[in-house]
Amino acid sequence: MKITTARVIVCSPGRNFVTLKIETDQGVYGIGDATLNGRELSVVTYLEEHVIPCLIGRDPQRIEDIWQFLYRGSYWRRGPVQMSAVSAVDTALWDIKAKMAGMPLYQLLGGRSRERVLVYGHANGETLEDTVEAVGHYIDMGYKAIRAQSGIPGIEKAYGIARGTMHYEPADAALPTETVWDTSKYLRFAPKLFEALRKEFGDEPELLHDVHHRLTPNEAAQLGKALEPCRLFWMEDPTPAENQQAFRLIRERTTTPIAVGEIFHTIWDAKELIENQLVDYVRTTVLRAGGITHLRRIADLASLYQVRTGSHGATDLSPVTMGAALHFDTWVPNFGIQEYMRHSDETDAVFPHDYRFEKGFLLCGETPGHGVDVDEKLVAQYPYKPAQLPVARLEDGTIWNW
């Protein structure tokens, strides 16, 4: 069996997506997602100039060998551009293998570990009251777990405030939008939000919160401690994880569960955090860390330390990633939760898929492969639009973590 062609498909049905389609001499093809939000075209070039020429003529069944070839063979290993490209190839190859076997992908991974995949949705509001209302809306839709992000009094345009209630798109302009951040206002406000949510909705719903790398370790410990009575499912990315040891300080001071990893690219980014049990959930997904092949290694390491998965699932990861992630989640023994930020109707139409939402859970389909395709005719209606992620500044103008 041979790879005959591989093509990169760029489209913008509401937001930009980069998709890889690998075709074979047996008529079977595979689809992978290579979207790197705000830096999309760098991955397009990496794939077109450096990866695709190496794929033509290769046996697509040799997934492991192709992974090693692309990872080790580049010499310049790791990083978001390379690993998004490797992820797309790997996802497409698993799609091909599962289609050849006539099986849904989760069967090839080892079969079903659960009947359905618990997901959390995104409730956002400009004020505390709006956010409480938005959480109520998700509960009415059947969600069991909800992430709450709110505007903060005195801060204009902080992270996570959606324009509508259902869709949040941070990459909103060709040049980065500048947002403002103030840690002390946030630290005073965040516990009030979660106290109000518990008061309104009781103990039952799982509540999550994304700190988006904004705090120092000490501030993160203060927040975790203040949120303990509100019993969060997790506090996400409380501080940047470049220095993995920073989490020791947070861990020693609070029992609020911690999730990190949406910007990790390999097992090395997560290794110390996992081995020292400094986090409870690892959020790395199929698209960011080398596809199914490498994510499986991260999940296996995590399982030794009772760390569970909580895959990133924002809308900048295309339905292709969501489909592959759901097969992974259906198999992985140490599953925790899956993020599910709904795609727009245009995006869903461009990427026909067989997964579905039911009462707070997602169910992957039974179609051979990962169950997601790309409609190449529709794609032509949505050309690429430059869009970058925002930056954050403190009130005095200092650049801060976004």
Taking the complex as a whole, the smallest distance from the CB of residue 97 to ligand GCO amounts, in Å, to 28
Decide whether 172 or 375 has the Cβ nearer to ligand GCO. 172
Let me know: does 270 contact 264? Beta carbons within 8 Å: yes
Among the residues of 105-167, which ranges form H helices?
Answer: 105-109, 128-140
Taking the complex as a whole, the smallest distance from the CB of residue 287 to Mg ion amounts, in Å, to 14
261 lies in the site for ligand GCO, by CB under 6 A:
no
Binding mask 166-185 for ligand GCO (x = CB under 6 A): ----x---------------
Decide whether 144 or 312 has the Cβ nearer to Mg ion. 312
Nearest to 152 by CA among 171, 131, 173: 131
Nearest to 187 by CA among 220, 212, 209: 220
Which phi and psi (to 5°) does residue 102 adopt? 70, 30
Window 28 to 67, contacts with ligand GCO (CB under 6 A)? 37
Q: Which structure tokens are listed for 123?
A: 């409730």
Please report, to the nearest 10 degrees, the dihedral formed by the alpha carbons of residues 224, 227, 232, 234 taken in order.
-20
Helix axis angle, 291-304 relative to 80-101, nearest 10°? Answer: 100
Q: Which structure tokens are listed for 326?
A: 């759901």
The site partner of 97 among ligand GCO, Mg ion, none (C-beta below 5 to 8 Å per kind) is none
State the residue number with the nearest CB to Mg ion. Answer: 210
Binder to Mg ion among 33, 90, 210, 329 (CB under 5 A)?
A: 210
Window 354 to 393, contacts with ligand GCO (CB under 6 A)? 389
The residues annotated as belonging to the active site are 159, 212
| Nearest-angstrom CA–CA distance, 2 and 140 | 49
Window 147 to 166, contacts with ligand GCO (CB under 6 A)? none
Taking the complex as a whole, the smallest distance from the CB of residue 37 to ligand GCO amounts, in Å, to 3
The site partner of 37 among Mg ion, ligand GCO, none (C-beta below 5 to 8 Å per kind) is ligand GCO
| Nearest-angstrom CA–CA distance, 177 and 66 | 39
Binding mask 283-322 for ligand GCO (x = CB under 6 A): -------------------------------x-x------
| Nearest-angstrom CA–CA distance, 159 and 390 | 9
Q: Which residues bind ligand GCO (CB under 6 A)?
A: 37, 170, 210, 212, 262, 314, 316, 339, 389
